[in-house]
Amino acid sequence: MPQDQSLLKEMLCFLKVRKAWWIAPIMLMLFFIGVLIVFGQSSAISPFIYALF
């Protein structure tokens, strides 16, 4: 595997080779939760985000 591959390409290659496509929705949800946490810390919509949890 070449050293200049990005993390995204490496993960897609891993999913394709291992046939582990069930991991993709989990990673996508973790990404969206991380984005929600980052935006929830310093924005005007934080009271609405905190109400979700």
Q: Please tell me what DSSP assigns to residue 43.
A: S
pLDDT tens digits, one per residue of 6-40: 888 888 888 889 988 888 899 899 999 888 888 77
For residue 13, the surrounding DSSP H or E stretch is helix 7-18
Enumerate the domain spans of the chain. 23-53
Would you say residue 3 has pLDDT above 70?
no
Sign of the C-alpha dihedral computed for residues 44, 47, 48 and 49 taken in this order: positive
pLDDT attached to residue 29? 94
Q: How many angstroms from the chain centroid is the CA of residue 51? A: 22
Q: Please tell me what DSSP assigns to residue 39.
A: H
Q: How many angstroms from the chain centroid is the CA of residue 43? A: 20
Which pTM value belongs to this model? 0.59
Which residues, including other chains, have CB under 8 Å from residue 12's CB and lie 6 or more apart?
none
pLDDT attached to residue 48? 74
